[in-house]
Amino acid sequence: MRQKLAVLVAFVSLAIPALVFAKADICKLTIKGADIKTPIEVTDFRNFKDVDLNVWAGPGVEINGKERTEGFILDWSQTVTERPKGLQRYEVSFYAKFPDEKLVYVVLYEYDPATERGYIYLPGRGDDWYGLNMGTIAHGVQGHYEGHWYRALSRWDRVARPLIESARPMASSPGLH
């Protein structure tokens, strides 16, 4: 009986935060990278009007019994097995308000100026941020989508790239156009 009660308490303690998180809006995002002296912090999302910043969108989310296949900042259908080497990597963190601001999801972002394509990595098992992300949402069955690179949506690239360019020191700017 005690074991069943412990399992029930554990389940409820994991399920309730997920339900609460799903109702929170993203209130801040930050972008960090080795070539950015001070992390970029965004709290005014006017430039993001065409970008879905909802980390609770996409696979793993059902609406009226139908799984979503779109949403967030990446193209879920375009898994990337090979991408150019040597791209600058950025850590993009998403915060929501519950009522206090809380870090809820982190992805990695790379941009290739030669092809004008961006890539998003959802941390997988053993990666930094995997536990946090899975505590917020598992995309697909048992986090099927985590641990893979995807093509970033062009509308994300159009907003993120200028933010990163403007935060980089002039001496290292030639890499992004």
Per residue in 46-56, pLDDT (tens digit) is 999 999 999 99
Per residue in 153-165, pLDDT (tens digit) is 999 999 999 999 9
Residue 119: which residues within 8 A CB-CB, separation 6 or more?
A: 80, 83, 87, 109, 110, 111, 112, 149, 150, 151, 152
| 153 in Cβ contact with 78 (< 8 Å) | no
Residue 19's pLDDT is 43
pTM given for the model: 0.82
pLDDT at 105 over 80: yes
More confident residue, 93 or 2: 93
| 39 in Cβ contact with 28 (< 8 Å) | no
**Look-up: residue for tokens 């970029």?**
40
Per residue in 49-96, pLDDT (tens digit) is 999 999 999 888 878 888 788 899 999 999 999 999 999 999 999 999
Among residues 75, 91, 128, 100, the alpha carbon closest in space to that of 21 is found at: 100
More confident residue, 17 or 161: 161
pLDDT at 177 over 60: no
Q: Domain ranges for the chain, please list them.
A: 2-175
Residue 21's pLDDT is 44
pLDDT at 173 over 50: no
